[in-house]
Amino acid sequence: MLKRLVTSEQEMPKMQYRSSTVPYKDSFLIVGGAQIFHGPTDKIFEYDSDAEGLTEMDAKLEAGLNYGVAVLIPDGMMPDC
């Protein structure tokens, strides 16, 4: 059941679709997707509930991700490669 609808007057920097959303702290991230006329994107945005807007994070995906799935994995859960 949807408990709260998040709305923002701030728009994405470019039209973006096919992104993944991931719960993060008390908010969420918008990960990857595609930007119209630019193809897959490597950008990650964090929703700031205090400012009711999106902030582009310094971290990026290794490559643009379109139709992807994003999952946060706790530190130490994956073996060192």
Round to whole Å and give the CA distance between 20 and 78: 21
The string of pLDDT tens digits covering residues 22-75 is 888 888 888 988 887 888 989 898 887 777 778 889 999 899 888 888 888 888
- Kindly list the domain boundaries of the chain, sorted by start residue: 8-66
Strand-pair category, 34-35 with 39-40: antiparallel
Burial class, 70, CB count within 10 angstroms (exposed 0-12 / middle 13-18 / buried 19+): middle
The string of pLDDT tens digits covering residues 9-31 is 556 666 777 888 888 888 888 89
Token pair in block for residue 31: 């990960």
